[in-house]
Structure 1
Amino acid sequence: MDDIEDLLIGSGGGAPPGFRLPLTTIGVNPKRNRTKAILKTNKLSQIQDPLTSFSPKIPGTQAIYIKTFGCSHNQSDSEYMAGQLSAFGYSLSDNPEEADLWLINTCTVKSPSQSAMDTIIAKGKSSNKPLVVAGCVPQGSRNLKELEGVSIVGVQQIDRVVEVVEESLKGHEVRLLNRKTLPALDLPKVRKNKFVEILPINVGCLGACTYCKTKHARGHLGSYTIDSLVGRVRSVIADGVKEMWLSSEDTGAYGRDIGVNLPTLLNAIVAELPTDASTMLRIGMTNPPFILEHLKEIATILRHPCVYTFLHVPVQSGSDTVLSAMNREYTVSEFRIVVDTLTELVPGMQIATDIICGFPGETDEDFAETMSLIEEYKFPQVHISQFYPRPGTPAARMKKVPSNIVKKRSRELTNVFEAFTPYTGMEGKVERIWITDIASDGIHLVGHTKGYVQVLVVAPEHMLGTSAMVKITSIGRWSVFGEVIETVNHIDKTALSKKNDQDISPPNCNSSDTSACSVKLESCGCVPDSCCGKSTFGSANSRSGMAPIKQNSRNLIGWILRKRKHVPKRAESELTTGSQEKHQGSQGNLGEWNSVDKALLGGILVSFLTIIALIIHLGFRTLWSE
């Protein structure tokens, strides 16, 4: 099958981000009875004139259903494509049956993901839905039989999705796959969660893992410049984002192709974050080889109040023999150095990891070493995957471990992992959390501690996008439950420090005081069992500077006085010092009132007595008139 690549008329370099190129610059072919009919690149004269073709709907008025598989990088790509389609008038539908076209963003990491893609493509074809397939599967395996008769958008062509969709709706089959430049970061975007920005910092990687198909799709390392990434950070903060995930196939390799490194980028991004820690940064998945060179610098950044003390570092196996067969380019000892160093230097450090069970050649002794590693470190998150041979990879040609043994090892490791109680000791502690999501039960809001421990709280939806102090009431295997004490006032500490001529740290997140931050216990790349976040999100606006949630006094006067600015400050002070005393009634606080408070109370009493006097007067007047 011949591929229609980017063919630009003249010497231009394409359209600015968010703008469509002329339709004559894209290779298309009218479908005949839904059979394969792709034009070669030298046959543009056969392109159907859009002015003479009949379309039942005006372009840009149709509904698009988007289905995303895989990692957070894929999720970001889908959000970018959704943003461009929305900007050109297309509506986004959650109902595939009501949509006019299906856009499927695929993942090639594991066989089940690709099988799910095959199923949805087959369903779309049987429903006569125009289909556009994007992501790693078509990019890495463009000649798959399942992709016949559908349009394709490559991983670096997402900025041209509008053109592909328009032509596909006309019945044309379009393929855009090859280009060496990265899509712009300032494209329109529709986030699944309005408070979370998934920011790709690079594509591809420098590794050559024998089992990995993603390298075939994402290719060699390509990093965005620091200036472009910092510009995007400024933009999304201004847009109300409260959490940023740095995403890539290997965060630690960032910048090696353009002469910079990850610590340089992280320092530049952290410098742009609000100093009140109202927006948090989560560093993405990193393989051990490259982060080894920057452990102390990374530890310093992880201690920053605006950075989650969490890192996803895949080990894949506890056996050096298996790691060598995987071509992972590190040893178990080097992985231990990463974990031990970060745990020692970063209070409350939390590390997630990945394991592949049953890699070709893995012996019982190799697997026992993996079990021992997991039992020793008791990682709070372990993503366990069975080995899936991916076509075209070296591992697919290796002698396989019998499937029944692979499944048995996966169950054994899962049982070991689930026996851990990683959050023991958190009950009763007070933690600061950042709330960005609604739980699947529709009742709880989802927040995370600085160590990225998931905390479920019962609270109103307007608290989405805010930070709060919570008391941990109970713990579970996968998350903990908390009770909101108060929201954290988001005040620019830089301004305060200038005013007071002293450095003021964000509340309760001083790195030297671990008692105020989580000391317990992702950042996802295209790796097995990717740990991508939930897709549900709330619609409430972010709020800051709110009064404490708990109202201990129910009377009207107490309620009015609690709304005064000095009361939240007093409550915050009580929380910081660990005071558990309830607010006293209004009479018990008279000694603390200033003249304004007394005048306010006096005015209320005078008004109350005046109303009573007026009622009495009207009553006597009525009786007198009778």
Structure 2
Amino acid sequence: MKVYIETYGCALNKGDSYIMMTLLKESGHEIVENYSQADAIILNTCAVRLETEERMKQRIKELRKIGKKLVIAGCLVSSEPALVMNLAPESSLVGAQSVDKIVEAVESPTRRIFLEDSKELITPRVFEGKISIIPIADGCAGDCNFCITKLARKKLRSYPPRSIVNAVKEAITNGAVEIELTAQDTAAYGLDINYSLPELIKDVLEIEGNYMIRIGMMTPELAMKEIDDIIEIMKDRRVYKFLHLPVQSGDDRVLKLMNRKYTVDEYKQLIKEIRNKIPLVNITTDIIIGHPGEDEEAFNNTLGLIKELKFERIHLAMYSIRPNTKSALMPQVPDPVKKERMRIANKVYEDVAYSVHSEYIGSNSLVITTEYGKKGSIIGRTINYIPVIVKDYNKLGDWINVKITEASFFDLRGQLIQ
């Protein structure tokens, strides 16, 4: 069969789609780039936010109208199966932790529903371009009150180190230059198999080759427990000086309501220690604006943290109620207040990030080219994972010297140094 896969959500969801591609190809099916070419369509869904859920519901309705076999997979299926069944009663369903069943779902002439945990954890053996996304764990060890993904991926399951290393070897052999080790929380890796993230990365770094490792998102409380080993690993030239550490709020009372397991001061100390030992490090974070319990003082504390820690990148999100979560039962911040705070926070973030990036103007930087950009440009990454747009170069997978000429809050622009 010819199968089209449409993916929404985080890097872990993308990794799941590559696992599906791997299993389908090994079973003799062909992956196509357009649903018009396909015999079957897979929609790999996300449910992290209300507007994302609405987009998924709309997309399910649109794809049903095409009249082809439809398989709905991913986090919306696991977190709200009844909703998906009502929207598409004839479609097969594959839960976020059931991707090993994708071939059965595609091949079955009748509707099938797979919501149980996979018996086997499978690493992807296909990737696109120069970037390979490799899941290292599924589920997390936390229990945040706002999170619906915890309901979709209930159980922490770490992939065996050997299967991850083999997947990385294969990706590098096939030309990947960036390896994204991804999970809901990479710092939770190995808690269930008596292993750790630093041990895993050491195993991966034994592989020879011209590649860079990007460590995926990690919760601050678990990162704190092994930060010395993480810092030591980041000193390797093949590891991006980049850490994604979501703080979520700059206010201790709100963090407690979120059921986050650290204080603002503990988070600040963590960032200070990392920056002292890895001066180039790029700290990226996530912040939720308007979580229940966020008053003006709490909001201003969050703005103060953004200004103080000068994050290179922030994923800002306005809080939205997610079903069956504890935060949904709390007194809510009114929508107009959330929207205005979001506007203010975005402006503060853009000013801070532009200020940080402006310091690069006039400097020379070594970047590795990983993606094609718009209008014939190419996107490279600095050693600390800041994107650089280069117009006068068109080859992927190369280290090139670039003079930084412009900056925005989001990226840098540069010219090739011959």
Cα separation, 2, equivalents of 1:180 and 1:237: 27
Cα separation, 2, equivalents of 1:130 and 1:261: 41
Residue 131 of structure 1 aligns to a residue in which SS? strand
Show CA shifts across 1:347-381 (max 9, x none): 20110111111111211111110011001112111
Show CA shifts across 1:118-176 (max 9, x none): 11111122232321001111112222122422101122332332221122xx3x11111
Cα separation, 2, equivalents of 1:406 and 1:448: 34
In the alignment, what sits opposite 1:179? Answer: 117
**1:432 pairs with 366, 370, 376, which one?**
366
Deviation at 1:98, TM superposition (A): 4.1
Code of the residue aligned with 1:342 in structure 2: it is I
Deviation at 1:110, TM superposition (A): 0.7
Residue 249 of structure 1 aligns to a residue in which SS? coil
**2:414 pairs with 482, 491, 494, which one?**
482
Contact 2:97 2:138 in 1 (8 A): no
Contact 2:215 2:242 in 1 (8 A): yes
Cα separation, 1, equivalents of 2:303 and 2:379: 31
Cα separation, 2, equivalents of 1:153 and 1:203: 15
Show CA shifts across 1:165-196 (max 9, x none): 122xx3x11111213534222x542x2x3211
In the alignment, what sits opposite 1:328? Answer: 260
Contact 2:322 2:328 in 1 (8 A): yes
Deviation at 1:460, TM superposition (A): 4.4
Q: Which moved more, 1:121-130 or 1:64-73?
A: 121-130
Residue 184 of structure 1 aligns to a residue in which SS? coil
Code of the residue aligned with 1:242 in structure 2: it is V
**2:9 pairs with 64, 70, 78, which one?**
70
Cα separation, 2, equivalents of 1:408 and 1:425: 30
Cα separation, 1, equivalents of 2:381 and 2:256: 36
Residue 357 of structure 2 aligns to a residue in which SS? coil
Cα separation, 1, equivalents of 2:10 and 2:213: 18
For the pair 1:443 / 2:376, whether they are aligned, the reply is: yes
Q: Which runs of 4+ in 1 moved over 6 A?
A: none
Cα separation, 2, equivalents of 1:182 and 1:389: 33
For the pair 1:85 / 2:30, whether they are aligned, the reply is: no
Show CA shifts across 1:304-352 (max 9, x none): 1101001110000001100000001111111111111111100201101
Contact 1:455 1:480 in 2 (8 A): yes
For the pair 1:195 / 2:143, whether they are aligned, the reply is: no
How is 1:186-225 mapped onto 2 (pairs within 5 angstroms)?
187-189=124-126, 191=127, 193-225=128-160
Show CA shifts across 1:570-611 (max 9, x none): xxxxxxxxxxxxxxxxxxxxxxxxxxxxxxxxxxxxxxxxxx
Residue 209 of structure 1 aligns to a residue in which SS? coil
Residue 285 of structure 2 aligns to a residue in which SS? strand
> TM-score w.r.t. structure 2 length?
0.95
**2:74 pairs with 120, 135, 146, which one?**
135
Report the RMSD for the aligned CA atoms in angstroms. 1.6
Q: Which moved more, 1:449-458 or 1:472-481?
A: 472-481
Cα separation, 1, equivalents of 2:272 and 2:120: 36
Residue 389 of structure 1 aligns to a residue in which SS? coil
Contact 2:75 2:152 in 1 (8 A): yes
Code of the residue aligned with 2:90 in structure 1: it is G
Deviation at 1:281, TM superposition (A): 0.3
**1:404 pairs with 329, 336, 340, which one?**
336
Structure 1 180/102 Cα, relative in aligned 2: closer, same or farther at 3 Å?
A: closer
Code of the residue aligned with 2:104 in structure 1: it is E
In the alignment, what sits opposite 1:146? Answer: 87
In the alignment, what sits opposite 2:386? Answer: 453
Code of the residue aligned with 1:464 in structure 2: it is L
Code of the residue aligned with 2:50 in structure 1: it is S
Cα separation, 2, equivalents of 1:136 and 1:108: 6
Cα separation, 2, equivalents of 1:122 and 1:146: 7
How is 1:578-597 mapped onto 2 (pairs within 5 angstroms)?
none
Runs of at least 5 residues in structure 1 that lack an aligned partner in the other structure: 1-59, 486-549, 551-626
Structure 1 429/331 Cα, relative in aligned 2: closer, same or farther at 3 Å?
A: same
Deviation at 1:95, TM superposition (A): 2.9
Show CA shifts across 1:536-558 (max 9, x none): xxxxxxxxxxxxxx4xxxxxxxx
Contact 1:87 1:188 in 2 (8 A): no
Contact 1:254 1:261 in 2 (8 A): yes
Cα separation, 1, equivalents of 2:410 and 2:339: 23
Code of the residue aligned with 2:97 in structure 1: it is Q
In the alignment, what sits opposite 2:206? Answer: 271
For the pair 1:470 / 2:402, whether they are aligned, the reply is: yes
Contact 2:98 2:118 in 1 (8 A): no
For the pair 1:247 / 2:196, whether they are aligned, the reply is: no
Residue 183 of structure 1 aligns to a residue in which SS? coil
Count how many residue pairs are aligned between Structure 1 and Structure 2.
Answer: 414
For the pair 1:161 / 2:99, whether they are aligned, the reply is: no
Deviation at 1:224, TM superposition (A): 1.3
Contact 1:438 1:446 in 2 (8 A): yes
Code of the residue aligned with 2:370 in structure 1: it is T
In the alignment, what sits opposite 1:503? Answer: none
Cα separation, 2, equivalents of 1:79 and 1:173: 23
Contact 1:273 1:306 in 2 (8 A): no
In the alignment, what sits opposite 2:293? Answer: 361
In the alignment, what sits opposite 1:389? Answer: 321
In the alignment, what sits opposite 2:240? Answer: 308
Structure 1 188/238 Cα, relative in aligned 2: closer, same or farther at 3 Å?
A: closer
Code of the residue aligned with 1:64 in structure 2: it is V
Code of the residue aligned with 1:435 in structure 2: it is T
Deviation at 1:436, TM superposition (A): 0.9
Cα separation, 1, equivalents of 2:207 and 2:279: 23
**1:236 pairs with 171, 174, 180, which one?**
171
> TM-score w.r.t. structure 1 length?
0.64
Code of the residue aligned with 2:388 in structure 1: it is V
How is 1:37-116 mapped onto 2 (pairs within 5 angstroms)?
60=1, 63-116=2-55
Code of the residue aligned with 1:166 in structure 2: it is E
Runs of at least 5 residues in structure 2 that lack an aligned partner in the other structure: none
Contact 1:322 1:366 in 2 (8 A): yes
**2:223 pairs with 283, 291, 305, which one?**
291
- Looking at CA atoms only, which structure, 1 or 2, has the larger radius of gyration? 1
In the alignment, what sits opposite 2:348? Answer: 416
Cα separation, 2, equivalents of 1:365 and 1:237: 49
Cα separation, 1, equivalents of 2:72 and 2:102: 10
Contact 2:368 2:380 in 1 (8 A): yes
Show CA shifts across 1:384-431 (max 9, x none): 101111111111111111111011111110011111222122122221
Cα separation, 2, equivalents of 1:311 and 1:403: 32
Contact 1:246 1:283 in 2 (8 A): yes
For the pair 1:376 / 2:316, whether they are aligned, the reply is: no
Instruction: Report the identity percentage.
Output: 35
In the alignment, what sits opposite 1:262? Answer: 197
